[in-house]
Chains A and B, each alone.
Chain A
Amino acid sequence: DSGVTQTPKHLITATGQRVTLRCSPRSGDLSVYWYQQSLDQGLQFLIQYYNGEERAKGNILERFSAQQFPDLHSELNLSSLELGDSALYFCASSVDVNYGYTFGSGTRLTVV
């Protein structure tokens, strides 16, 4: 157990639907990051939050949004889902930007 909790572990949904992925960072970590990993691909940076505020954005689609709540947990919302959104979505946390990331086990999203 890395200390970063992601739920759900698996999600199967239909095209056009909307889903919410949840992440609880490791205790004491203020930064949360979201990454997308498609089959056999690298990790695409989506977005970063620090202590409730958005810090950096990557190649995140307009259909996707995220937020970090006062208790530091974060949610990634994916809407109008397409087949190509099927991927493993990782959340990671760190004390601050210049520290190693601790990754959660990921949420495997399958869009059918």
Chain B
Amino acid sequence: GQQVMQIPQYQHVQEGEDFTTYCNSSTTLSNIQWYKQRPGGHPVFLIQLVKSGEVKKQKRLTFQFGEAKKNSSLHITATQTTDVGTYFCAGATTSGTYKYIFGTGTRLKVLA
């Protein structure tokens, strides 16, 4: 079945450093979403990418959807302690039933 993997699994960065997490799907995606889950919290929707090669920015966060629509990345510039949490990508395919499969997540720790 469809699998969505994320790397790295964990990342510790010094405050002010950049951070990138990568999401790879075993199948072509119709679109991809990104979520952030703070420690002890629930996932919060960040953004959705639909078009091949699409790039979207939200302040210090840059999201990219690959040309082949099988991978995506989230880049955070100059991390802050408020960026701590686990970042999940969620990919949807239209083969069979339409549902989002969440990636394995990247847990980010920011050291002050």
Q: Chain A residues in contact with chain B, CB under 8 A?
A: 2, 33, 35, 42-45, 48, 55-58, 90, 92, 97-106
Contact = CB atoms under 8 A, between A and B. Distances in A.
B79 interface: no
Name the prevailing secondary structure of the B interface residues. Answer: strand
Contacts, number: 58
B104 A42 contact: yes
B20 interface: no
Contacts of B97: 48, 55-57
A75 B103 CA distance: 25
Given A42-B103, A56-B98, 15 more contacts: A42-B88, A43-B88, A45-B101, A55-B97, A55-B98, A56-B97, A57-B97, A97-B92, A97-B98, A99-B48, A101-B90, A101-B100, A103-B43, A104-B42, A105-B41
Contact of B100 (A2, A45, A90, A105): A45
B99 interface: yes
Contact of A42 (B41, B98, B102): B102
B33 interface: yes
9 contacts: A2-B42, A2-B44, A42-B103, A42-B105, A43-B105, A48-B97, A101-B35, A101-B45, A105-B42
Interface residues of B, number: 22
Contact of A90 (B42, B48, B98, B105): B42
B42 A103 contact: yes
B45 A106 contact: no
